[in-house]
Every structure is written in C-alpha cells, then in structure tokens.
Structure 1
Amino acid sequence: MSEKLSEETRKTVLAPLFATGWAMVDGRDAIVKTFKFNDFSDAFGWMTRAAIWAEKWNHHPEWENVYSKVIVTLTTHDCDGLSALDAKLARKMDGLFGTA
C-alpha cells in the first residue's frame, strides 16, 4: 500500500511539477495537467508510451483524450490522496512529452 505524501514532502516533490504545468485539483488530493499534441496520432502514441510505464509501476492514471488533447489526473486511490507514485508518474509523463 502506498503512503500519502506528508505536508513537508509535498513542498519539495510537487513544486517542480507545478513548474511544468501540473496543478492541484479543486476538492481532491490529486494533480491534473492537460497535454496538447499536434493531432490524435501523437496524443494516442504518447498515451500508449505512458500506459506502458503505468502498467509497469501498477499505477494507473485517470485520463481522457479528445482528439489532440489528453487530460491526466493523478491520485493514489489506496491512500486516498497523493503519493510518491503520482509524482513519479507525472515526471515520467512530462519526460515522454518533452517538458521534464
């Protein structure tokens, strides 16, 4: 089971993510980011690459895809909030997108 990020850890772990466009979700202990691509193929290809890492780490995002846009929400359901896994997957997604 994952452990929820402490208030102190959040400051150091989340700040770099906020700098790349991630934001807190209103009313939830979760982060969200919208990734914009040139077209559907680019968006779907990125989702496929991200899905491989999500499956490998057994940590799956909430996401939706509309044409060239992918909206990702990350939270850890077994600790009912943000965990180190969310930060790790967010950094990987940014890296796959080229914004790390």
Structure 2
Amino acid sequence: MSWTDIGALNDIPLRGARIVKTVAGCIAVFRTAEEEVFATSNKCAHKGGPLAEGIVHGKSVTCPLHNWVYSLETGEAQGADEGQIATYPIRIEDGRLLLDVSTVAARSAA
C-alpha cells in the first residue's frame, strides 16, 4: 500500500464529505458522526449523482439526486436499489487522513 496524506480529519465536518481529485476521478471522503472515515467514488451508480453532496447517516450515504443509499463500508446499494460504487482504503493517523493511492491508481488502469 502507498499511503498519501490528503488533509486533516477536522477539514471534514461530522456527517459531511469532501472531494479529492485523483487520476481515477473524484473520490468522496466521508466522516460519520462516530468519527469514522470512508472513501468512495463520488459518482452514484444510478445516474452519476455527486455523492459528496449527499446525506451521511450511520455508515451510509444517500445520493442527492434520486435517494439511492450506499454502504460506505462496502459500496453496495441498499434496499431495493441494485448497484455498487468503488471504495478505497483510508485511515486516520495523528489527525491526518491517509488514502491508499496505489489502489486508486490500480482501479484507474483497469
């Protein structure tokens, strides 16, 4: 794994998100109310909606366009919706967010 510092945890509000631009496109980085962080594709599998603008609840995000709900842990659509978004390894170290860029690069080459 190749961990890269992408910013401070406190740059993302609780139950909020920020976008990180990468070679694979925009990645949404989410922070839950429980101080957990997750990184996923920013595009909804349904119509490409901007997930970083969605509502974070528990370990899920709801797309702002058509209310599709995705697990932030697995990327799978929940409920009656079918589809999946990419997820990326991310961790917190000393208040900083570290993203595994080797995974991002590998997915962009596929």
Q: What band does the TM-score fall into relative to the shorter chain?
A: 0.3 to 0.5
Give the TM-score, by structure 1 length.
0.36
Scaled by the length of structure 2, the TM-score of the pair is 0.34
Relative to its length, the structure with more strand (as a share) is 2
User: Which structure has more helix as a fraction of its residues?
Assistant: 1
Q: Which of the pair has the greater relative contact order for Cα pairs under 8 Å at 6+ separation?
A: 1
